[in-house]
Structure 1
């Protein structure tokens, strides 16, 4: 119980990361056609238009890995092992969000890029408190 009360912030951030990235990765996997179709249109006319399926596959894998790392990190914190995995999870989530931000900026979807800022702040706060 002490591990929970002394690590509320870290636990809540990891749950946020878990929900955000694992759900997104699962959604991409279960609705591959819908996601790639929408993104092909989203990136049409950009330098990324020809590699949309590859980009979606890379993001899908990274999101699922990030979500699974969040589960492992939660276990480590609750078991009192250490918080190193939690730090790596927060860093990977920031890298993933930067990849998504890059895509949104290339597509000139500034509103979508702005939306990612809130997610990035949460993940960077995780990096900050775990460093």
Structure 2
């Protein structure tokens, strides 16, 4: 119980990332074709236009990995105060968000890029707290 109170901010941020990335991964798995079609339009006339399925599977795998690491890290943080797995999840989440930011910038979707930046701020803060 001490770890729950001592690490409340970290746990809330981990839960934020778990919800964000697991839900996003599930959406991609449940509506793969819809996502591919939408993203092909989104990346039309960019260097990513012919890479959409490969990039989407890369994002999906990274989202699942980040979500699972954050989930395991949350349990480890509660159980024994261990931060290593949570840190790995948070760092992977930062890398994922940077990947998504790059895609939005290349697609010239500046509003989408701004949204990614909003997610990036608490994720970097989590990395800071877990150090």
1:1-131 equivalences in 2 (<5 Å): 1-131=1-131
Greater CA drift, 119-128 or 79-88: 79-88
Question: 1: CA distance between counterparts of 2:59 and 2:98?
Answer: 11
**Scaled by the length of structure 2, what TM-score is found?**
0.98
Structure 2: tracts of 5 or more residues without a match: none
1:9-64 residue CA offsets vs partner (Å, 9 max, x unmatched): 11001000100001101110110001010000000000100000000000000001
Instruction: Give the SS at the match of 1:49.
Output: coil
1:98-122 residue CA offsets vs partner (Å, 9 max, x unmatched): 0000000000000000011111001
Runs of 4+ that moved beyond 3 A: none
Over the aligned positions, Cα root-mean-square deviation in angstroms equals 0.7
Q: Determine if contact 2:90/2:126 at 8 Å carries over to the other structure.
A: yes
How many residue pairs align between the two structures?
Answer: 131
Q: Determine if contact 2:39/2:52 at 8 Å carries over to the other structure.
A: yes
Question: 2: CA distance between counterparts of 1:92 and 1:8?
Answer: 21
Structure 1: tracts of 5 or more residues without a match: none
Question: 1: CA distance between counterparts of 2:81 and 2:101?
Answer: 33
Instruction: Give the SS at the match of 1:23.
Output: helix
**Scaled by the length of structure 1, what TM-score is found?**
0.98
Instruction: Give the SS at the match of 1:50.
Output: coil
